[in-house]
């Protein structure tokens, strides 16, 4: 149902923007998992690991410097969860406990989440069309997690995001390149209280290829 709604929005935007600027972007880049006030990893002790995301965006002109955009991402989020408080006999060799930093003191479990993210937003260009162009994005949507390491984890989180990018897209050409740092925040609430239960912050750097589908120059 969520995917059908997403593609309906995509089709509607094509219809609205039939005679204006349109672009499709292929996106790939690294992300970095950050857990905020959350037990998504079932532990507050963890180390973030580099993950990655890939996807596609479509944008459609609604005003001279404004686009509406829809996007989908496949994300792999990685972290190492630490648990336990290990102590070793060698740390008691003097008769009292002496911490040895060269020894492991917790059990480490590599954790990997896979998720699909569906976003709808707006894009603002800071100048009229030219070869090099800066822009900013604001977006909102949902993140749907796949199979999870432990039962009871959230299937869907609300998502929001901010991005700031630079694109190289010569006016006489159909294809260009771009880079855009983005910050995405995901939150889930407890059904009984309505208070936040899961809070996840995902910074990422996205790079990719952008194809200009149509430009009305009349």
pLDDT of the chain, 218 residues: tens digit per residue? 555 455 445 545 555 445 577 899 999 999 998 877 655 555 556 778 899 999 999 999 999 899 999 999 999 988 887 776 777 777 677 778 877 677 666 677 777 888 899 999 999 999 988 899 999 999 999 988 776 545 455 568 889 999 999 999 887 778 999 999 999 998 876 555 455 567 788 999 999 999 987 655 44
From 218, 211, 122, select the one nearest 170 (Cα to Cα).
211
What pLDDT sits at residue 17?
A: 46
The label of the residue with tokens 């532990």 reads 43
Radius of gyration for the alpha carbons in the chain, expressed in angstroms and rounded: 22
b/e burial code for range 57-72 (CB count within 10 A of at least 16 → b): bbbbbbeeeebbbbbb
pTM: 0.74
Number of other CB atoms surrounding residue 154 within 10 Å: 18
What pLDDT sits at residue 68?
A: 95
Helix (H, G, I), strand (E, B) or coil at 5: helix
Token pair recorded at residue 119: 């976003």
Provide the residue count of the chain: 218
């Amino acid at each position: 149902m969520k995917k059908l709604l997403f593609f309906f929005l995509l089709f509607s935007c094509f219809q609205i923007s039939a005679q204006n600027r349109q672009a499709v972007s292929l996106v790939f880049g690294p992300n970095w998992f950050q857990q905020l006030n959350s037990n998504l990893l079932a532990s507050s002790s963890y180390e973030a690991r580099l993950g990655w995301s890939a996807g596609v965006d479509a944008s459609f002109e609604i005003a001279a410097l404004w686009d509406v955009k829809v996007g989908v991402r496949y994300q792999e989020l990685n972290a190492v969860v630490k648990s336990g408080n290990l102590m070793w006999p060698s740390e008691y060799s003097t008769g009292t406990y002496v911490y040895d930093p060269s020894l492991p003191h917790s059990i480490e479990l590599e954790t990997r989440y896979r998720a699909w993210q569906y976003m709808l937003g707006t894009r603002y260009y800071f100048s009229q069309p030219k070869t090099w162009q800066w822009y900013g994005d604001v977006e909102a949507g949902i993140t749907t997690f796949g199979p999870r390491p432990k039962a009871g984890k959230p299937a869907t989180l609300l998502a929001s995001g901010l991005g700031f990018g630079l694109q190289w897209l010569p006016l006489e050409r159909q294809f260009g390149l771009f880079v855009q740092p983005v910050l995405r925040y995901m939150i889930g609430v407890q059904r009984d209280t309505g208070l936040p239960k899961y809070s996840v912050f995902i910074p990422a750097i996205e790079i990719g290829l952008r194809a200009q589908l149509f430009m009305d120059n009349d």
